[in-house]
Amino acid sequence: MTDVTLRPVEPADLPVFFEHQRDPVALVMAGLPGREHDAFYEHWALILADDATRIRTIEAGGEVAGNVLSFERAGRREVGYWIGRDHWGRGVATAALMAFLGEETFRPLHAGVEPANAGSLRVLAKCGFAVCGEEDGLVVLRLD
């Protein structure tokens, strides 16, 4: 497996994140629409300015592989991550989420996943999350 580390997000990471979220295969897996350039950067400005959000850049083998974050939504703390497709299937998401869970100690944590996204469901299960229901068409998992 590639060496995976987390670090604070830097401005130079954003163009990489932008390209990751333009990948049509990744968008289907995430069940999210991609954002155009200006909307993407406006969204990230809000994320980075939100003190309630903890976010890290994921590096794998010395290159930006994605990001992992926790945030407040609908009265609960959630986690999410985005891995560039070039890094799929290498254990990057699992290693990054495990490392992140050492930093983000709030519990319970929740995650929402598209039912067809077997890869993310496996990553979350390996990290100790358990399915606790379904909401808005997503599988909801919880880590106590």
Say if 68 falls within a structural domain: yes
Mean per-residue pLDDT for 123-140? 97
What pLDDT, on a 0 to 100 scale, did the predictor assign at position 83? 97
Say if 65 falls within a structural domain: yes
What pLDDT, on a 0 to 100 scale, did the predictor assign at position 104? 97
Domain count, the chain: 1
Report how far apart the first and last C-alpha atoms of the chain are (Å, whole number).
28
d(CA 31, CA 123): 17
What pLDDT, on a 0 to 100 scale, did the predictor assign at position 31? 87
Task: Decide if 80 contacts 71 (C-beta within 8 A).
Answer: yes
Q: Residue 32 in 3-state DSSP?
A: coil
Say if 125 falls within a structural domain: no
Q: Please give the backbone phi and psi of residue 90, each rounded to the nearest 5 degrees, phi first.
A: -115, 5
Residues of the domain holding 101:
4-107
Say if 15 falls within a structural domain: yes
3-state helix, strand, coil in the chain (%, to 5): 40, 35, 30
Instruction: Report residue 132 CA to chain centroid gap.
Output: 19
Chain segment 29-87, per-residue pLDDT in tens: 898 889 999 999 999 999 999 999 999 999 999 999 999 999 999 899 999 999 999 99
User: Is 90 exceeded by the pLDDT of residue 135?
Assistant: yes
Task: Decide if 79 contacts 96 (C-beta within 8 A).
Answer: no
Chain segment 104-117, per-residue pLDDT in tens: 999 999 999 999 99
What pLDDT, on a 0 to 100 scale, did the predictor assign at position 11? 96
Task: Decide if 83 contacts 93 (C-beta within 8 A).
Answer: yes
User: Is 90 exceeded by the pLDDT of residue 1?
Assistant: no
Q: Residue 33 in 3-state DSSP?
A: coil
Mean per-residue pLDDT for 90-100? 97
Q: What pTM did the predictor assign?
A: 0.94
> Which domain CATH number covers 72?
3.40.630.30
